[in-house]
A and B are shown apart, each in its own frame.
Chain A
Amino acid sequence: MRYKETKKNPKAAIIIKDVSKSFIVPHEKVNTLRGVFTGLFKKNQYDILHALKNISFNIKKGEFIGIVGRNGSGKSTLLKILAGVYTAGSGSVFVDGAISPFLELGIGFNPELSGRDNVYLNAIVLGLSEKEIDEKFDEIVEFSELGRFIDQKLKNYSSGMNMRLAFSVAIHANRDILLMDEVLAVGDSNFQSKCITEFMKHRAQGRTIIFVTHDIGSVQKYCDRAILLRNGELVKMGIPEDVCNAYIQQNMEDEQVRMTMEQSHRDHKPAKIILKKSVEILKADFIDETGDTRQVFETGEIFAIRISFKINKPVSILNIGVGIHAISGGQVFGCNTQMDGYLIDLSKSEITFKLNEMPILKGDYYLNVVCFGEVEQDYYDVKPQFKNLKIYTSGHKYRYKGILDIDHSWEG
């Protein structure tokens, strides 16, 4: 009863139609009978959480699919329905081929048993027969590089060794459809690349791979198609580039909301430094190319900083400076009109600082704005951490380290 058969599409590995799943979330988890009886007399003891809403999609045989989405978007619920751990509340799920029914590596692993016993236990739970395990045992051990330790108890293994053994069993399980929940995050880099090679081999053999991750880098690198979930709804399905961009966009929007709220919080704080205030800085905004005000940008996306000021007492000279700092510490860039020899038109109340390139990598930054007279120490107004700035990086650059995206090339 778990799967409904449809024979319309012989090339499809998975057909999901209008699948919904909701959970009853009690305000207080009732797991005693007393709780049930006392609960009878209270009202509204639970919320209904719609984890998945009318999800439909097809996955072809041999496809490598990545599922992305923020925490709580329904990724894991979807995977659990595919694996058969949860039954769909409504809709139909059709799976053609043996599915690797696990979501985590090393299910059933027990620290008190030897590596050997654990291999047998785990493999049989994954659906291998004892005979198949006997045949593949040496291969499994060899792949895990744990030959010397195989008869030791699992509790004496490091967590890395544990994962290696688990992964090794998993890929030898030979299912037609592989489901993986955040697997690429385990093991050292050597082992990771080995895993990816192994994934590629599986894919070359025509297996279908579905994996859930936060790492858009690997989705773009390996997947044929990707799925974006948000609040239980399928927002986008298509080529990884598009889906990842949509995901980044979504994150940026959410971030924007969060930062605006944070900002309004900060604005209510009274200023601690008392300054001359002959000139006051009123506002600073990040303006994108279309003229919109935003606080989240992508690496390479140029923007301008528009600063509004008010002159309270006439001054002869006015200089304005900006500084971009990383929240983690360190100034990224800072300059002022004096350094650049720019004279501010005192009849205006606004000045725009334009960036012609924006090589800042992903991270949280903030903007300082100051204004001063003839010497830099003679401040009229100082606005430390005036505005927060969030930078996103997508594509292969996502994995770059540091603050700056320095234009580069490799030669040899």
Chain B
Amino acid sequence: MKKNHENYKELILRLAKTDFKLRYHGSVLGYVWAILKPLLLFLILNFVFSSVFNFKNMGIPYYTLDLLTGLLIFSFFAEGTSAGIASLLSKSQLVTKIYVPRWTIVIASTLNALFVFGMNLIIMIGFFAYYGKAPSIESILMFIFYIMLLYALVVAIAFLLAPLFARFRDIGMIWEVLLSVLMYAAPIIYPLTLLPVHLQKLILFNPIAFIIHFAKQGLIANHFATGGQILLISLGVGVVLGISFMIFRKNERNVAEYL
């Protein structure tokens, strides 16, 4: 049979563009809000931990950059997964009244978080410039690689949970709680080096923690994970993505009946 949609890329981009327009439409500051949210959280945390707990004097000179980078990466992860999980439900018309490949809907919904993250990079660059910190070329390349890896993880989680969310609405709540757990399980507001060594190793088993830690370590301290570690996590994320896509293809068949 002939395919109805030859051009998935255009379909995904158009859906994502619409999402973006709608999200910040009708608010005066527009997408500035998208940046302001993590920025405000950053300012509060920065005040608390720099001035009150004073991580700066505990051997972490660039705590502010550390915190900002970690927070922005995590908010990308949080927004991407939340939007991806809710995608089939929020665009239920595209599922129940028409056939478009459902995976395009999921991908399109996660893209918005990637756009916003791109915007946030401008702020990050500003802070790095202010503190006079110039990351090395290889650390920037690694940073981009880590973001791609994290995006793959976002998509994998969205594939896994979006059809389930259509059936069980409390998946959304559970994920919200899980996100705040994940945030504290990753070295974002505390530097990893503050923990006992055996705990550090344990925490790095969490791929999100691994990605966040080494992404910012590269930029700030020019310190990298070993090649073996990188290979392992890439393989791990790849396998998870593959499996979750297969599960998605199985689950999507009946998803229209639950919406």
Q: Do A and B make up one complex?
A: yes
**Which residues from B are CB-within-8-Å of A80?**
256
Segment at the A interface, from B32-40, B50-58, B146-154, B167-175: B167-175
As a 0/1 sequence over residues 116 to 130 of chain A, the CB contacts with chain B under 8 angstroms (1 = contact) are 010011001111011
Question: In the complex, what's the smallest C-beta–C-beta distance from A178 to chain B, in angstroms?
Answer: 12
Q: Who on chain B is nearest to A5 by CB?
A: B1
B1 touches A3 (CB 8 A): yes
Interface pick from B63-71, B95-103, B116-124, B193-201: B95-103
Binds B, one of A104-112, A215-223, A330-338, A395-403: A104-112
Partner of B94, one of A87, A108, A112: A108
Q: If A112-B26, A113-B22, A121-B14 touch, does A104 touch B253 (CB 8 Å cutoff)?
A: no
Interface residues of B in 88-146 (CB under 8 A from A): 91, 93-100
Option from A97, A108, A117, A126 in Cβ contact (under 8 Å) with B1 = A97
Q: Is A187 an interface residue (CB 8 A)?
A: no
Interface residues of B in 1-48 (CB under 8 A from A): 1-7, 10-11, 14-15, 18, 21-22, 25-26
Does any Cβ of B come within 8 Å of A57's Cβ?
no
For B4, give the chain A residue with the smallest CB separation.
Answer: A127
Q: Please tell me if the beta carbons of A117 and B18 are within 8 angstroms of each other in the complex.
A: yes
Which B residue's beta carbon lies closest to that of A130?
Answer: B10
| Interface 9-residue window, one of A29-37, A156-164, A243-251 | A29-37
A125/B100 in contact, CB under 8 A: yes
Minimum C-beta distance from B250 to chain A (A): 10
Nearest A residue to B249 via CB reads A1
CB <8 Å contact, B14 and A84 = no
- What's the nearest-Cβ distance from chain B to residue A123, in Å? 9
Q: Is the CB of A124 within 8 A of B93?
A: no
At the interface, yes or no: B226 with Cβ under 8 Å from chain A?
no
A34 to B98, CA, bound (A): 31
Residues of A within 8 A of B25 (CB): 112
Residues of chain A from 1 to 44 with CB closer than 8 A to chain B in the complex: 3, 5, 23, 31-34, 36
Query: Is A46 interfacial (CB 8 A cutoff)?
Result: no
Contact yes or no, B4 A23, CB < 8 A: no
Q: Which residue of A lies closest to B164 (CB)?
A: A33
Check if B98 sits within 8 Å of A103, measured CB to CB: yes
- Could you tell me the distance in whole angstroms from the C-beta of A35 to the nearest C-beta in chain B? 8
Of the residues B18, B96, B257, contact of A23 by C-beta under 8 Å: B257
Distance A126 CA – B6 CA, assembled complex (angstroms): 11
Q: Is A255 an interface residue (CB 8 A)?
A: no
Interface positions, chain B 173-223, Cβ under 8 Å from A, are 174
Segment 57-116 of A: residues with Cβ below 8 Å from B? 80, 83-87, 94-99, 101-104, 107-108, 110, 112-113
In the bound complex, do residue A83 and residue B170 qualify as a contact, i.e. CB atoms below 8 Å apart?
no
B interface residues with partner A (beta carbon < 8 Å) = 1-7, 10-11, 14-15, 18, 21-22, 25-26, 91, 93-100, 167-171, 174, 253-254, 256-258
> Which residues of A are interface residues toward B (Cβ below 8 A)?
3, 5, 23, 31-34, 36, 80, 83-87, 94-99, 101-104, 107-108, 110, 112-113, 117, 120-121, 124-127, 129-130, 175-176
Closest 9 CB pairs of A and B: A84-B99, A101-B99, A102-B98, A127-B4, A98-B2, A87-B253, A124-B14, A104-B97, A85-B256
Ordered by A's residue number, 19 sampled pairs between the chains whose C-beta atoms are within 8 Å are: A32-B169, A33-B171, A34-B170, A80-B256, A83-B99, A85-B97, A87-B253, A96-B1, A97-B2, A98-B2, A102-B97, A104-B98, A107-B94, A108-B93, A110-B22, A124-B11, A125-B11, A125-B15, A125-B100
